[in-house]
Structure 1
Amino acid sequence: LNLYTQTLDWGTGSLETLLQRAAHILSSVSGHIALVTIPQNSKSRLYHLQLVPLTKQQVMLVMVTDSYYTQSVVLDFPEDQSLPEVDEESWQRELQILSNFLNQKLRGESLMTLHCLDWGELDREFNNYAEFLRSILQELKVRSHSYAPILIRGISEALRQPEFSQLQQVQMLMQLLEQEQEQLFPLIFELPDCPEDSKRVIVRIGTENSLEALNVCTLITANYCKGDIPLGSVGLLGPTRMLYENAIAMVEATADYLSETLST
């Protein structure tokens, strides 16, 4: 942590410059590939939700943020969900009641804190729609966790290691890092189920990584936060024989430094 404090100066550049320097230090010190995601828009807040009936088993969820950015997704009612026996007009009225309830509970909430809210309270007040509400809230979590660019440093040094001697492995890894970052992003930046887990280190070894290009690698990640809100993630990607204690400590120190800097 002292290395970052001595080397980086928050007052002399943009946030992206700070993250680039942090990634450079992490890759230089570790000898592995450093990955740092650029923060998502933590200021966006939910402005309005609307449930629009399509059929008796399908509903469109429309989400509008306070910057008037709009997303929509079609949701299926769970097959085992007991639906009320109502006509079309009554069904629309039921969905409007649900929309009003969700707006009352969620309007003004930061998109990045939706995963921390007490979903149990929603279930108790609308038990008949418990599964459907859970699917809505899960979709909101996914939508708040969209892809953001990844800063990557240390590729050339890391690829000199013997684990990356096979051309096909190198080509797959390079394609993932340079052209398929959207697939890599969910592995690096994972929203926790509760605030207490927001800063924990996650280690995935070999086939624990769901992407084939990473099956010979270890990926170590930790989120950096502003207060309790995860903004992005720091990671190291290297061979499975890496010195885990050192690598974990370096990832943790980088994430802690960024969290402290962004929270002051």
Structure 2
Amino acid sequence: MRIIDLSTPIDAAGWEPEPVEHRIMSAAEGAKHMSEEMLEHFGLEFDPSVLPDGELLTIDTLTLTTHTGTHVDAPSHYGSAARYGDGRPRHIDELPLEWFHGPGVVLDLSTAAPGAVDAAHLRRELDRIGHALAPGDIVLLRTGASRLAGTPEYFSRFTGLDGSAVHFLLDQGVRVIGTDAFSLDAPFRIMIEGYRETGERSLLWPAHFAGREREYCQIERLAHLEDLPAPTGFTVSCFPVKITGAGAGWTRAVAVLPA
């Protein structure tokens, strides 16, 4: 098989609205740290100087949100109450793993202007590639925004989905929708300016708020969708990190193709 990485890195050197802090403890510092930890928690005395070069292991500590890098949004991210089931949206650790491994479908939105496309746009793209969506398909939106990752423009120049587009995909049995952009919704400025001009609240975060009505997940901040040789014929694996009670979890999303 051939595996294509669809994930963006978590990089403290890249620009983020909420900066990433990455602290690295050297192997020598790690030896001293582990010695202190073993004594405090297990009552074990250990002299790190007996180790080769006085070194043990490095330790990385990161401070970041679960929405940094490629990640999966859980239903609980969209709001505190749902209008389906028992009214309690599930967290990332509660979702079935089967949702995150399935046939992939890439829809090309790269020629669309910044903002949001509707269901009719998606239907035309599906007609163009000759694919009928099926339950369990994982739909990935190639907007081209990933080329801006690590810059401020990544958070303001991309194409998302409006409410009709999200509901159209969910009507076909899709449970997971991914994008190479910062968000599945339109950029902040476009949504807010549209609301100010029209007073129409449905223009504000319609893709996310659709998750209050129907249970589904988003993968945001994908990459390398342009490296896929065809819009179908591959499997997506995007299992989220199991964080108890969290509204999102990081994922190393990949596409698996036959050799």
Flag whether TM exceeds 0.5 (same fold): no
TM-score bracket, normalised by the shorter chain, equals under 0.3
Structure showing the higher helix proportion among its residues: 1
TM-score by length of 2: 0.25
TM-score by length of 1: 0.25
